[in-house]
Structure 1
Amino acid sequence: MVVAPYLDTLLLLLAAAAAINDLASRRIPNLLLLCGLAGALVLHALSAEPGAALLSSLGGFAAGLLIFLPFYLVRGMAAGDVKMMATVGAFTGPATALHIAIMAWCAGGAMALAIIVLRGRLRLAVGNLWRIGRAALLRMPAGAAGKSESAGSMPYGVAIAAGTIYVIAMRYS
């Protein structure tokens, strides 16, 4: 059975639902991600080569998790965003998960800049980056830069969805 179109369709629906939830409530529901993960595993199991497909799915899950986990550990990203990227990776495999992560970083950077500018927090954001950069250059221990006010947060599930949609759309263009 050719499952690629079904995987892509389910992934696009999952990404859209996660982005909408993240915008509305600033949360990505675990049940949504769990259902998406189950759907990906079932579809991979129905593929022509289920062993290879499930192994690729596992590798994609691990890649998605490991790509965003460091950002969660330094409190730069929420757990739902990490779990969403891992679930996206389970659909796509490791190479495409990396490509989606790169596109999500691009979308996230553009979103962050727009949010900072629209909220009038550009000076605060630049000051925060200066403190972090200075501490890194001077090899100061973690936290030595001092605690500073956040320039704001954003629904990163939207950036992951944008990266996902872009990469999937490029397959069909």
Structure 2
Amino acid sequence: MILILFLTGAVFTDLYRDKIYNLWVIPGMIAGIAGSALAGQNELISCLTAIGITFAILLPVYLLKGIAAGDVKLFMSAASFLSVQDTMSCIITAFFVAGLISLSILLFKRNKKKTIHFAVPVLVSAIFTLGGVVV
């Protein structure tokens, strides 16, 4: 529930301010890491592994200007609440959702240079992953 709340806050700031603030990202990641630490050493290791893998996967995408730094940090914060497998599912689903949004923009909008607010696909993918829609 905490994950969905902090992702929803990031969506609002991304949509209305065109920025994902560290005010949403850092406390979210701290909460995820703290929750994992309270659950035991294995959960903490899994949490930190998910964060590290997320960074390793998304850094090249960021360097190629595929996503912004705030999006990478948002994914890392989300990963702090998820298992490694759920994190991978979330990343794949988010890029799929972003592709669908991009396709709809290309088909139905005149403004072809519109950017995607990537916090929206991250939230949708987290809901799908946590809800068991995506495995």
Distance in 2 (alpha carbons) for counterparts of 1:63 and 1:162: 20
Identity of aligned residues (%): 26
Shift, 1:12, TM fit:
1.0
Per the normalisation by structure 1, the TM-score is: 0.72
Shift, 1:74, TM fit:
0.7
Letter in 2 for 1:29: Y
Counterpart position of 1:25: 17
> Deviation per CA, 1:79-110, whole angstroms, max 9, x where unpaired?
00011111111111321110000110111001
Distance in 2 (alpha carbons) for counterparts of 1:166 and 1:97: 12
Moved more, 11-20 or 112-121: 112-121
Letter in 2 for 1:71: V
> Deviation per CA, 1:104-127, whole angstroms, max 9, x where unpaired?
0111001111122232256xxxxx
Per the normalisation by structure 2, the TM-score is: 0.91
Counterpart position of 1:118: 108
Is the contact between residue 58 and residue 93 of structure 1 (CA under 8 Å) also seen in structure 2? no
Q: Does 1:103 align with 2:93?
A: yes
Letter in 2 for 1:66: A
Counterpart position of 2:73: 83
Structure 1 gaps of 5+ residues are: 1-8, 123-150
Counterpart position of 1:11: 3
Shift, 1:55, TM fit:
0.5
Shift, 1:69, TM fit:
1.5
Distance in 2 (alpha carbons) for counterparts of 1:44 and 1:54: 5
Is the contact between residue 59 and residue 94 of structure 1 (CA under 8 Å) also seen in structure 2? yes
Letter in 2 for 1:57: C
The count of aligned residue pairs is 133
Letter in 1 for 2:37: A
Counterpart position of 2:82: 92
Counterpart position of 1:154: 116
Distance in 2 (alpha carbons) for counterparts of 1:114 and 1:12: 25
Pairing of 1:5-84 with structure 2 (within 5 A): 9-47=1-39, 50-84=40-74
Distance in 2 (alpha carbons) for counterparts of 1:15 and 1:67: 20
Of structures 1 and 2, the larger Rg is shown by 1
